[in-house]
Structure 1
Amino acid sequence: MHLTDLIARRNTPFHTYEFFPPRTEAGFVNLLDRIRRLATAPLPPPLAVSITWGAGGSTAERTMELAEQVTRLGLEVILHLTCTNMEKEKVDKALEKARALGIQNVLALRGDPPRSEEYAISPISTPDYFTHADDLVRYIREQHGDYFCIGVAGYPTPHPDSEGPEDDLHWLKIKCDAGADYIITQLFYDVEGFEGWVKTCRKNGIDVPIIPGVMPIQNFASFRRLVNLTQCSVPDSIMTALEPIKSDDAAVKRYGAQLATGMVQRLVSSGLVPGVHFCTLNLEKSVRTILENLGWTPESSNRVQSSPLPRHNQLIEDDTDAPQGLSVPNAANFPIKQMNGLSISPSEASQLAEWGLTNHALPPAPKKGLGNSAAAQAPSAEDSWDEYPNGRFTDVRSPAYGEIDGWGSGLKITAAQALRDWGAPTDAAQLSDLFTRYLESDPSAPTTPFCDLPLSDESATILPYLIKLNSPQLQHWTVGSQPAVDAAHSEDPVLGWGPRGGYVFQKAYVEFFVKREQVERIHERLKDRTDGQISMYAANKQGEFITNTLKDAVNAVTWGVFPGQEIVQSTIIEEESFRAWKEEAFDIWTEWSLLYPRLSPARKLLEGIASEWWLVSLIHHDYKAPDALWTFLLGDEVAA
């Protein structure tokens, strides 16, 4: 059904959710279970669920797979489509698939153009490609008439690429005149400014429903990065409230939920918007808390199929009389009669397995440290087991794994800023100089392609080692590191994190790019060690991989002990997560290279780095020996 028709039927505020396709299969499975919980009583079901689409169709297959599974849950889907440099054939296939699935709502977006098309050469503009979102809106209308209800993006804070508010408003009006039916806005935190923007839209003849995008603050680092990316206005009161709790993810998350609750209450009471759109980052706890705070309840019976999968291990008993070849088309036709709480018949086990395969559903991964206990299966554990922190160092089973801010991988600043900060390096010595200037907080290098924020105070404690590694002589270009920490107070202004009254621990860790011969030298040196204190992961873009660890080894590198809590293991590094990050890391080199013209010295250099160098991660497990990792890498230079 059209989203606008669903809105017209409502006499109370509604909400929609936004999810992205997870990067791992386990994350995909767990996201479906998460969506089911968020759409099930006592929470009110969402009016619709939107599924994001990677730039240029980069996540097309996974997006369509996720959209299909969400429709099987009985939920309306809003399919995102980005159009920049998207061939019409790809758009046609996506729309045909959407129609086949009964999806009638799309969100037509420009998307972020690939760097080569946006900056190094003129953007593609041929009859087979789209350039702007209004091109896509017109095309969908021409090809599909009124079958699809088409949404577009709105920017309460001017888009970083726009010339200002008037320019944004001009293009929004063009998109609406092209046939858009509704608007979902970019995130914002200035509610008063948003209300003024909506009124301006109405004065300029934009009369379609406007749905505000609300992104709860999940942690301080991702919030700061989002503000930097979107250039959105943040009231001073928010920054003042965050400053004393910025190192405590749980406190920041609580504040973020409280802030979003107040925002939603003011927005819906203003009469300017019919509902809100939650950007979830594939996390559950914050939006669940917000809905509970609002007191919104289901208006109708649960429309989501509940999984018949058991929430604990069961024995398979003898069932020789059961009919064979049972078919389970859906959960409603699934009459499970468990023999008792601890056992299940073979035929029922077969049905459970078939249902799980058909619906891509599995019981959610238990919270670390709880095993298969009843506590691990309780809703409170299910909705929060992967909440701290979000990003690439979390559990690969998490639906949010690998995503820090919702903007995906790639460069986090504009091309103009990148060219200003990084120049046009033509040899390895100039790259060493760039990384070193960043480490030294030189104003001429405030960012690198791998970090868009200033160096942390924590990293400053190992700064001399990092500078030596990045020197023109060694050329170990570091992209991640942390010092060893032995029971620092959680309130420590440099090393602390988490709730008050706790202690935090870290193993020394460093990640860098080097030439193949350096990788081989490090690996050979580790073979000569018998203490097993250093774990190594190394890989290149072509997929070659070297490690000195066991296949399933998991390395906890950051953990904390806090009053009244289990041990919190916030950062882990293991092979699967390293391999996933490796793909993104080398893509960053490639994307950086595309800022420069073809055949230019800078482009040749960066393409060569991407194709020939290796990414290496080293972890030293003795957290009571703060210099041990650096002594291994630098030898006598540590004391110099």
Structure 2
Amino acid sequence: MLVELIDEALSKAYTSGCQNILALRGDPPLDGSDSTGDFKYAKDLICYIRKKYGDHFNIGVAAYPEGLEDESPELTLKYLKQKCDAGADFIITQMFYDTDNFIKWCHLVRKIGISIPIIPGIMPISTYAAFIRRAKWSQIAIPPHFLEALEPIKEDDYLVRQKGTELVSEMCQKLIDSKVVSHLHFYTMNLERATIMILENLNLIEPVKDHEIIGGVDLPWRKSLHPSRSKESIRPIFWQNRKYSYISRTSTWDEFPNGRWGDSRSPAFGDIDLFAADLLRQSPKRAFDLWGCPQSFKDLSNLVVSYLKNDLKSLPWSDGPIGEDTAIIVDKLISLNQRGFLTMNSQPSLNCVKSNDKVYGWGPKNGYVFQKQYLEFFCHRDIFPKLLESIEKFNEKGGESCSFLTYYAADKNGELTTNTKEDDINAVTWGVFPGEEILQPTIVEKTSFFAWKDEVYRLLAEWGSVYDSHITSDETLKKSQVKEFTRTLNEFADQFILCNIVNNNFVDDDLVLFSLFDDIQSSEF
């Protein structure tokens, strides 16, 4: 940041009464561009704050118990010492799961003369996918016993959170017993439940009660921490005039499971980590090694086809490999991509599949799960009217069979086309379990669709700019290639519309949605 912006931020913090500042350099831009800020290192920022405000602020600094990719452990410690000597008051560490390594690192920190408090960064485990992804992003070691415990149950979010709570609680107890720290800092990611479960296990808080006393009345439910739930349009009629009861009865929807298409008003919305400045998550070299430098729309299509065939393990908009649940429709997805519809995400229809099914099951045992067929893709704007016509024809004749298709479509600028109502919330996945209310963890609705639309187009823009700094370092990547690649992605973003379609008849064959495209093909392909 420029010093003018830093002065403004510090002044506002001072005026508001804020006394704690975490002073970070921040990651350099992924596109390799030079920083235009006035401070090169965090220690320079710390010195500046001390010079301007004396001891008014408590200043925290970041530390990396497992080191950094481009630095030796000795150099990382040296830089930490410089930050502390510049005037830091406390240290907050990066997340970790290797407790023994952390304790050894703390002893090394003390050995070089750092005496300020060390606060360990604790990341609770809510889902297996998020656990693995964050560990990879942060390049931290995962102890074998974590993987041994979580791998067999990775498809069951409910069990993963329970076992993850046990593992992280044991880790925290070991830290407390070691006496190397006196604080715990939890990265909650705005999800309360996993952290509360750990604190309960450590006996640091009383178990959260299942009821609450309001106005002297002992109510038989726990008040939600998210009062915006009262705005939801889905509401059982029995609780139409009993807001608090309804809110509490549906409160677990927030975190079960944390899918991308959760309710946008929930803190669990958006399984992506929204704190990240860069969405692409890959260095220029890694992006080039993974996806090359597509020169045309056809090249983009071939990239997605390679992913669907499992030859590629990720895409700019897909962090992991294609799931097993896609196997029964993968041939149809490949065909769509070859004809000019770049698929982003999909799910087949399910009618009463056992919840312990190895591929499609989720949630508590002895239950049944259901899905509506869902298809998300990019469509060229020139053939989009033909697709709409195909959908409308289907809906006109589908009334007798109770089949009805709903869709959302939006371009880069946010121009929306849909046959849904403004506040429609469409449950496309749900489960029925013994002794439980029906759970509907996956929905499609306008607010979350627009958030996802913004993210996808931003991903394309970041991918289009990331190679500029990589041209001179790799002889196989020419300036002309990068120019054509950037032009291709820019034209793609301008000419293609993000669409999704839901078949609301979950007993329909999975061929139904794909049949819409039988007579449509992009001229670009």
User: Which position in structure 1 is the counterpart of 2:141?
Assistant: 233
1:115 is the counterpart of 2:30: yes
* 1:13-53 Cα distance to aligned partner (Å, 9 max, x none): xxxxxxxxxxxxxxxxxxxxxxxxxxxxxxxxxxxxxxxxx
- In 1, the alpha carbon distance for the partners of 2:340 and 2:285 equals 27
> Which of 65, 78, 94 in structure 2 is aligned with 1:186?
94
Q: CA deviation at 1:398?
A: 0.8
User: Which position in structure 2 is the counterpart of 1:463?
Assistant: 330
- In 1, the alpha carbon distance for the partners of 2:195 and 2:20 equals 23
Superposition map of 1:11-410 within 5 A: 86-116=1-31, 119=32, 121=33, 123-125=34-36, 128-159=37-68, 161-297=69-205, 363-365=227-229, 371=239, 376-377=244-245, 384-405=252-273, 407-408=275-276, 410=279
- In 2, the alpha carbon distance for the partners of 1:88 and 1:497 equals 51
Q: CA deviation at 1:483?
A: 1.1
User: Which position in structure 2 is the counterpart of 1:581?
Assistant: 452
Q: Which stretch of structure 1 is more off in the superposition, 395-404 or 97-106?
A: 395-404
User: Which position in structure 2 is the counterpart of 1:595?
Assistant: 466
- In 2, the alpha carbon distance for the partners of 1:149 and 1:379 equals 39
- In 2, the alpha carbon distance for the partners of 1:146 and 1:182 equals 13
User: Which position in structure 1 is the counterpart of 2:390?
Assistant: 525
Q: Is the 8 A contact 1:490 1:501 kept in 2?
A: yes
1:449 is the counterpart of 2:358: no
1:628 is the counterpart of 2:497: no
Helix, strand or coil at the partner of 2:254: coil
User: Which position in structure 1 is the counterpart of 2:378?
Assistant: 513
What is the one-letter code of the residue matched to 1:451?
S
Q: CA deviation at 1:513?
A: 1.7
Q: CA deviation at 1:376?
A: 5.0
What is the one-letter code of the residue matched to 1:276?
L
Helix, strand or coil at the partner of 2:516: helix
What is the one-letter code of the residue matched to 2:390?
R
> Which of 331, 356, 359 in structure 2 is aligned with 1:491?
356
Helix, strand or coil at the partner of 2:184: strand
- In 2, the alpha carbon distance for the partners of 1:570 and 1:385 equals 6
User: Which position in structure 1 is the counterpart of 2:281?
Assistant: 412
The total of aligned residue pairs comes to 487
- In 2, the alpha carbon distance for the partners of 1:485 and 1:93 equals 55
- In 2, the alpha carbon distance for the partners of 1:112 and 1:433 equals 32
Q: CA deviation at 1:383?
A: 6.1
Q: Is the 8 A contact 2:259 2:442 kept in 1?
A: no
Helix, strand or coil at the partner of 2:125: coil
Q: Which stretch of structure 1 is more off in the superposition, 368-377 or 496-505?
A: 368-377
User: Which position in structure 2 is the counterpart of 1:50?
Assistant: none
TM value normalised by structure 1: 0.71
**Identity value in percent:** 41
- In 2, the alpha carbon distance for the partners of 1:141 and 1:384 equals 45
Helix, strand or coil at the partner of 2:335: helix
Q: CA deviation at 1:157?
A: 2.1
1:548 is the counterpart of 2:419: yes
Q: CA deviation at 1:404?
A: 3.3
What is the one-letter code of the residue matched to 1:213?
G
User: Which position in structure 2 is the counterpart of 1:53?
Assistant: none
Helix, strand or coil at the partner of 1:275: coil
User: Which position in structure 2 is the counterpart of 1:564?
Assistant: 435
- In 1, the alpha carbon distance for the partners of 2:71 and 2:290 equals 22
Change (3 A) 1:487 1:378: closer
- In 1, the alpha carbon distance for the partners of 2:317 and 2:18 equals 38
What is the one-letter code of the residue matched to 1:158?
G
Q: Is the 8 A contact 1:519 1:616 kept in 2?
A: no
- Note the residue ranges of structure 2 that are not aligned, 5 or more in a row: 207-212, 219-224, 469-478
Change (3 A) 1:163 1:434: farther
What is the one-letter code of the residue matched to 1:255?
K
* 1:412-451 Cα distance to aligned partner (Å, 9 max, x none): 3333211210112221111112111111111xx3321001
* 1:601-634 Cα distance to aligned partner (Å, 9 max, x none): 2222222223332111111112212221122234
Helix, strand or coil at the partner of 2:498: strand
Helix, strand or coil at the partner of 1:404: coil
Change (3 A) 1:606 1:248: same
What is the one-letter code of the residue matched to 1:616?
C
Helix, strand or coil at the partner of 1:461: helix
Q: CA deviation at 1:373?
A: 7.3
TM value normalised by structure 2: 0.86
Helix, strand or coil at the partner of 1:233: coil
* 1:272-306 Cα distance to aligned partner (Å, 9 max, x none): 001100111101111212222222249xxxxxxxx
Q: Is the 8 A contact 2:341 2:377 kept in 1?
A: yes
User: Which position in structure 2 is the counterpart of 1:325?
Assistant: none
Helix, strand or coil at the partner of 2:362: coil
What is the one-letter code of the residue matched to 1:100?
T
User: Which position in structure 2 is the counterpart of 1:54?
Assistant: none
What is the one-letter code of the residue matched to 1:181?
D
| RMSD of aligned Cα (Å) | 2.9
- In 1, the alpha carbon distance for the partners of 2:247 and 2:377 equals 40
Q: CA deviation at 1:565?
A: 0.9
Q: CA deviation at 1:403?
A: 4.1
- In 1, the alpha carbon distance for the partners of 2:405 and 2:142 equals 43
- In 2, the alpha carbon distance for the partners of 1:566 and 1:544 equals 37
Change (3 A) 1:485 1:137: same
Q: Is the 8 A contact 1:223 1:405 kept in 2?
A: no
Q: CA deviation at 1:380?
A: 6.3
Change (3 A) 1:186 1:385: same
> Which of 288, 304, 309 in structure 2 is aligned with 1:440?
309
- In 2, the alpha carbon distance for the partners of 1:574 and 1:450 equals 20
Change (3 A) 1:395 1:262: same
Change (3 A) 1:139 1:157: same
Q: Is the 8 A contact 1:109 1:152 kept in 2?
A: yes
What is the one-letter code of the residue matched to 1:363?
P
- In 2, the alpha carbon distance for the partners of 1:198 and 1:381 equals 44
